Structures are given as C-alpha cells and as structure tokens.
C-alpha cells in the first residue's frame, strides 16, 4: 500500500525550529507532536494576532447591526412621511372646503351690502328731493347721506373679504398641488439614505467575511506550529536536526517508517522482457543478509530463496527506461523472514517454463528470447532468468 512506504514529513508553513519532542529511532503514534515551530514572518509576529482579529470581527458585526438599525429607522421614516403626506392632503382639502364655505358667505354678505347701498342711495335721492320741496329738514338729509356712506363702506369691506377668501382659496389649492412634490422629495431623500446605508452594510458584510476568513487562516496557522506524526511509525532521520534552523514551506523535516506494513519487492525489467511478465507469476528472491545457494535450473534444490508473486506492473517506464513491478510474499510457500526490514536489498529470479533441451539449444543458437510461463507454476522449472537487483518495500 502507498501509505506503508517510508515517507518524509513536511512543514506546511515556514518557521524556525523551537523544540524537538522526539528523537531518531523513536516509535510515535498518529497525532504525536514531533516538533514545535516559531514564527518567522513579520505578518504573524503579534502574539495577540488571533484575539485582535476576533475583536475586528466583533466590531465589524456591530457596525453591520448599526447599519441594520439605521436602515430600519429610515424605512420607518419613509412610512411616516407617506402617512404625513396623506394627512396633510386631507388637511388642505378640508381647508379648501372651509374657504369655499367662507367665499359663499362673503358673497352673500356682498350681495346684502350691495342691496343696502342701493336702498341707502334711493333713500338719499328721495330725501334730497323732498328736502328741495321743503318737506324734510336738513337733518334728515344729512342722516341719509351718512347712511349711504356707511353702506358704501360696508360694501367695500364685503368686496375685500370676498377677494381675500378667493386669494386664500388659490393659496390652499397651490399648497395642495405642491405638497406631493414636497413630500416626494423628502421620501426620495429618505430612500436614498436607506439605500446608501444598505450599500455600506453590504460592503461591511464583505469585509466581515474577509475578516472571518483571515481569522480562520490565523487559527489554522496556530495549529500548524506543531508538526505531528501522520501515522504510527518510527522516526528514522531528522533532516533538519538543529534547534533554531529556518525551514521553508513544504521543506522536509524528518523521515518516518510506518510501524505497520506489508512487505513487497520492487523489480525492474527491460522493455523487451515486459511481455514475459504477468500478474500472478512466481518470482524467487535472495535477500541481503540471508545466505543462499542457487543451482541454475534447479530452483527446488536451491537453498535460502523465498517465493513471491507479481501483484502489480507499471504501464510506463521510469527515467532509466525500465518497467517496475511489485512482488508480494507467496502465502502458499515458506514465509519471508520476520527480521526483514523496509529498504533491504533483494535479487529476483524469474522462472521460465519447461521446454525441451533441443528447443533451448535451438533458441540460444538463433538468439530468440525465452518463453515465459503463463499463470501459476506447478512443478519444476527448467531454467532461470538472470537475477535482477531490487529493493524490498
């Protein structure tokens, strides 16, 4: 399995090694702290950076709440202005009706004053005629003249009252026609202020989201100051051993070998030999450190070899133009040594199928490639393919 291979542990962030919690060769469990890093970037030097960012988030949330309150107040103001407009129009309409009634009254007064003046003028002319004939005295004539002047003055007053009432009517109608424009401007201004407030609110919400994202980044970065083991295993080598050393982002820190693994051997073959290999084929191995005696053509008589079977073959060659295949232990045969470790050297011996002696002589004389068996081998094999260097994984 890929996760069972030796691996290096990287640093997600740049930092300075402050303290080691493990030593080489130590067994660690998944999640154990390996080392602690100190900050090296000036943007994160503030020890209260996370708390200050949290305060900025709270302050921006308070600003957004204030914008909400202001927008609600402006909305209420708009509704109040609409209600006030309605009441104002009703008031002006009532005033216009009152003025209409007043005008009618003034017209009646004017008619009465005009009639009184006509009567007074008639009486004045008649008294003057009778005075000329000696029937009325001069006092009677003077009284009628005074009466005519009084009625004339009342007529002028009645005419002025009528004109004044008519002027009031014109003014009231003008106010009624202008009140819509006046309150439309006030409502438009309140709506403009409200929309401006909402725009500021949305801008603050965008800033708040950025601050929250920044806060989460700072919080995650604080967790990255402690490098932990990704799985159970043994610390094999400290690549950056010193305390105080500066490491870059993604740089290797230590190497770890998983404690739980399944052994397999990597074999590399040439492209011309690839058609001879299939998944499930048997391969014999000679491991470094275990003595072996190999008799060419007699695999069952050989001593110290271990059986394996091909479990995977790469579809593309590596940089050396060789194809890699993986061979796992063959459970049906002798188990591999328990002391075998990851990284041990091995030599692989691929078995050929049984052929007649004359065919082998003929093949070698003509330089033809060997015929490989298909499927699982049963029984003896007639020859060996030359050993291939491999590394156990």
- How many other C-beta atoms are found inside a 10 Å radius of the C-beta of residue 211? 20
- Per DSSP, the residues of 199-252 read HHHHHHHHHHHHHHHHHHHHHHHHHTTEEE-SSSEEEEEESS-STT-EE-TT-E
Section 211-215 average pLDDT: 90
- Taken in order of first residue, the domains within the chain and their CATH numbers are 2-39+225-258 (2.40.50.100), 49-221 (1.10.287), 265-392 (2.40.30)
Looking at residue 383, its pLDDT comes to: 42
3-state secondary structure labels for all residues of 335-347 = CCCCCCCCCCEEE
pLDDT by residue (tens digit) across 272-281? 777 777 888 8
What would the two tokens of residue 297 be? Answer: 């053509």
Looking at residue 382, its pLDDT comes to: 39
Instruction: Give the model's confidence band at 79: pLDDT under 50 very low, under 70 low, under 90 confident, else very high.
Output: very high
What would the two tokens of residue 270 be? Answer: 């040439």
pLDDT by residue (tens digit) across 349-368? 776 666 677 877 887 788 77
Nearest to 22 by CA among 224, 255, 251: 255
State what percent of residues in the chain have pLDDT above 90.
16
Instruction: Give the model's confidence band at 213: pLDDT under 50 very low, under 70 low, under 90 confident, else very high.
Output: very high
pLDDT by residue (tens digit) across 298-330? 455 455 677 788 888 888 888 888 888 888 888
Section 61-73 average pLDDT: 92
What is the total residue count of the chain? 393
Q: What radius of gyration do the chain's Cα atoms show?
A: 56
Looking at residue 386, its pLDDT comes to: 40
Looking at residue 129, its pLDDT comes to: 83
Query: Is it the case that residue 42 has pLDDT exceeding 60?
Result: yes
What distance in Å separates the CA atoms of residue 373 and residue 376, rounded to the nearest whole number?
Answer: 8
Query: Which pTM does this prediction carry?
Result: 0.54
Query: Is it the case that residue 30 has pLDDT exceeding 60?
Result: yes
Query: Is it the case that residue 389 has pLDDT exceeding 80?
Result: no
């Amino acid at each position: 399995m890929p996760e069972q291979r030796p691996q290096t542990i990287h640093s997600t962030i740049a930092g300075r090694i402050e303290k080691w919690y493990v030593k080489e060769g130590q067994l660690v469990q998944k999640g154990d702290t390996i080392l602690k890093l100190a900050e090296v970037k000036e943007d994160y030097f503030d020890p209260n950076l996370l708390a200050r960012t949290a305060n900025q988030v709270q302050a921006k949330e308070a600003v957004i709440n204030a914008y909400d309150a202001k927008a609600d107040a402006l909305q209420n103001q708009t509704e109040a202005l609409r209600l006030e407009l309605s009441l104002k129009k009703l008031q002006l309409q009532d005033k216009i009706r009152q003025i209409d009634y007043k005008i009618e009254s003034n017209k009646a007064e004017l008619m009465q004053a005009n009639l009184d003046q006509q009567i007074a003028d008639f009486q004045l002319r008649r008294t003057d005629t009778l005075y000329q004939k000696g029937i009325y005295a001069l006092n009677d004539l003077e009284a009628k003249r005074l009466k005519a002047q009084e009625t004339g003055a009342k007529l002028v007053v009645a005419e002025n009252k009528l004109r004044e009432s008519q002027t009031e009517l014109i003014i009231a109608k003008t106010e009624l026609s202008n009140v819509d424009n006046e309150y439309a401007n006030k409502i438009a201004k309140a709506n403009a202020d409200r929309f401006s407030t909402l725009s500021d609110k949305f801008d603050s919400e965008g800033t708040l989201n950025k601050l929250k994202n920044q806060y989460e980044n700072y919080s995650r970065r604080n967790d990255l100051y402690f490098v932990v083991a990704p799985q159970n295993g043994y610390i094999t080598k400290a690549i950056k051993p010193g305390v105080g050393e500066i490491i870059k982002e993604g740089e290797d820190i230590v190497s770890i070998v998983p404690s739980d693994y399944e052994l397999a051997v990597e074999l590399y073959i040439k492209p011309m030999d690839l058609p001879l290999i299939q998944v499930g084929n048997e391969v014999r191995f000679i491991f470094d450190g275990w003595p072996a005696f190999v008799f060419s053509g007699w695999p069952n008589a050989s001593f110290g070899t271990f059986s394996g079977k091909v479990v995977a073959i790469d579809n593309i060659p590596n940089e050396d133009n060789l194809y890699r295949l993986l061979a796992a232990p063959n459970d049906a045969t002798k188990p591999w040594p328990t002391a075998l470790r990851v990284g041990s050297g091995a030599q692989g011996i691929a078995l050929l199928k049984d052929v007649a002696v004359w065919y082998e002589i003929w093949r070698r004389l003509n330089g033809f490639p060997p015929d490989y068996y298909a499927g699982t081998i049963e029984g003896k094999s007639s020859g060996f393919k030359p050993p291939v260097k491999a590394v156990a994984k």
